[in-house]
Chains A and B, each alone.
Chain A
Amino acid sequence: MKWLADDAARRACLAEQPLAAVISADMPLRANLTAIENIAVVPQYTRNLTYRDAMDVAWNLLLEAGHSECAYKRDPALTHEERFVVKLLRALVGQPPLILVDRPALLLPDTRYPPFVDALLQRMEPHLQECWLLDYTWNEPLYAPR
């Protein structure tokens, strides 16, 4: 968890981690690809996997995350939760050293997001190296004591 006092602190935190994969409202999914293709395209480029192998990797990640039903939806058809899951999987399939979830409240506006994000990160733990949630201090009461 990384508590932020304001937007300047958030920007500074993002700037300090240039190698991190950022999950943010400012980093949308590719609109004309399905959810599964948005994930698969990363190993196709970073690991030169064939289309079939990359789709298998993406499908298995969606299964592990418990959201395989959204695999063939495009971005506008996704719910906020599904979009968040796909963004997280697109980030972690690239195996970055650190994933930053920038303002989860903005990504999951209609969800009690701390338990949702916690559960998802626990499910995906084998694939994660390190993940920080960047949230404002005024949202601290929403989180369960750690």
Chain B
Amino acid sequence: MGVAMMPPMSGLSDFLIRRGKGALDLWRTWRAIFSFAGKALAAALTPSVYNSATRMVVMKQIYFTAWQILLPFSLFAGLLSYVVIQIVVSTAREYGLSEYALEMSMRVLVPEILPLVTALFIALRSSSAINTEVALMRIHNEIDALEAAGVDTLRMEFMPRVIGGVVSLLALTAINSVLALVLAYIALYGFQLWSLPDFTRVMGQVFDLGIIIGLWVKCVAFGLAVTVIPVAEGLATPRMLFMAPISVLRGMVRLFFVLMFIEVASLALKYM
């Protein structure tokens, strides 16, 4: 009498409601990310979508994401490549496997380390900026204002960022891969061209069609991830200024796990 008894199922029900809400929120977030990716890709593949303003935003995005950092990032990637090549070459020599040193270093560097490092660099530099900008646009109502003025924001603001991000990632990976090949040649054969046929033959064995296709598919997936996730996360930001840093935090954590998932999945497909 007097004390209300808690129904036995109420704790379980609270637990399920809370967990269910969390699961639903997560489901909605990923649905929004995939929905945005689908819209951006469909727009990117539609030639009539491109106009002078769209092309300009694509160029700006490539300039800020790839061109502005090309020299310092290439220097860093060159240094990293050279150190990795030297480690693999000296270890292979110690174990009497010198003839495999070039192949091993290239298998690790070009399809695995360089695309991942490039994606992480772009994520830190550009994705965080994109997430912040889109979140602030959403909070300040700039997106609705542009739409009201007759401007398609998918074409003007978001799809060009996706294209710019993918192109930048592909370009930086390609440039740094070529640099790694040159450094590998120099590390193994020194400054002479007589060993070029040997080098070319080994590279032909390492980079067969399957590896090349896998590399480009992975780079495109990285490029999509570093742009689609921050834009979708920014668009999902509630209209409150204090939510901007939370949106960036969430976006960057999701992006990190997606990049790692893509890398692990590509390794699993290749070696398992």
Interface residues of A (CB under 8 A from B): 21-22, 26-32, 41-42, 44-46, 48-51, 54, 90-91, 94
Selected contact of A31 from candidates B142, B150, B155, CB within 8 Å? B142
Q: Are A90 and B149 in contact (CB under 8 A)?
A: yes
Interface of B, secondary structure class, is helix
Q: Are A28 and B51 in contact (CB under 8 A)?
A: no
Given contacts A26-B141, A44-B51, contact A31 B151 (CB under 8 A): no
Is B269 among interface residues, defined by CB-CB distance under 8 A?
no
Selected contact of A22 from candidates B136, B140, B148, B151, CB within 8 Å? B148
**CA gap between A51 and B50 in the complex, in Å:** 13
Q: Are A28 and B142 in contact (CB under 8 A)?
A: yes
Could you jot down 5 A-B contacts, CB within 8 Å? A26-B141, A27-B148, A41-B149, A45-B151, A51-B56
Selected contact of A54 from candidates B52, B136, B140, CB within 8 Å? B52
Which of B140, B141, B148 is the most central at the interface, judged by chain A CB atoms within 10 Å of its CB? B148
Q: Are A21 and B149 in contact (CB under 8 A)?
A: yes
Selected contact of A45 from candidates B133, B136, B145, B155, CB within 8 Å? B155
Selected contact of A44 from candidates B53, B133, B145, CB within 8 Å? B53
Is B119 among interface residues, defined by CB-CB distance under 8 A?
no
Q: Hey, which chain B residues are within 8 Å of A26, CB to CB?
A: 141, 145
**CA gap between A22 and B155 in the complex, in Å:** 22
A40 to chain B, nearest CB (A): 8
Binary contact readout B20-62 vs A (1 if CB under 8 angstroms, 0 otherwise): 0000000000000000000000000000000111001000000
Q: Are B156 and A45 in contact (CB under 8 A)?
A: yes
Selected contact of B150 from candidates A27, A49, A94, CB within 8 Å? A94
Q: Are B52 and A91 in contact (CB under 8 A)?
A: no
Q: Are B144 and A45 in contact (CB under 8 A)?
A: no
Binary contact readout B62-96 vs A (1 if CB under 8 angstroms, 0 otherwise): 00000000000000000000000000000000000
**CA gap between A42 and B56 in the complex, in Å:** 14
Q: Are A44 and B150 in contact (CB under 8 A)?
A: no
Q: Hey, which chain A residues are within 8 Å of B142, CB to CB?
A: 28-31
Interface residues of B (CB under 8 A from A): 51-53, 56, 133, 136-137, 140-142, 144-146, 148-152, 155-156
Find the B residue at minimum CB distance from A30.
B142
**CA gap between A29 and B144 in the complex, in Å:** 10
Q: Are B145 and A51 in contact (CB under 8 A)?
A: no
Given contacts A28-B140, A29-B145, A30-B142, contact A42 B133 (CB under 8 A): no
Given contacts A26-B141, A29-B145, A54-B52, contact A42 B150 (CB under 8 A): yes
Selected contact of A28 from candidates B56, B141, B151, B155, CB within 8 Å? B141
Q: Are A21 and B148 in contact (CB under 8 A)?
A: yes
Find the B residue at minimum CB distance from A96.
B150
Find the A residue at minimum CB distance from B51.
A48
Find the B residue at minimum CB distance from A91.
B149
A57 to chain B, nearest CB (A): 13
Selected contact of A30 from candidates B52, B56, B146, B150, CB within 8 Å? B146
**CA gap between A41 and B57 in the complex, in Å:** 11
Q: What 5 additional pairs, Cβ within 8 angstroms, besides A29-B142, A44-B51?
A: A26-B141, A28-B140, A48-B51, A50-B52, A94-B149
Q: Are A41 and B148 in contact (CB under 8 A)?
A: no
Selected contact of A51 from candidates B53, B136, B155, CB within 8 Å? B53
B72 to chain A, nearest CB (A): 24
Q: Hey, which chain B residues are within 8 Å of A28, CB to CB?
A: 140-142, 145
**CA gap between A32 and B61 in the complex, in Å:** 13
A83 to chain B, nearest CB (A): 12
Which of A41, A42, A48, A54 is the most central at the interface, judged by chain B CB atoms within 10 Å of its CB? A41
**CA gap between A23 and B56 in the complex, in Å:** 27
Q: Are B144 and A27 in contact (CB under 8 A)?
A: yes
A18 to chain B, nearest CB (A): 10
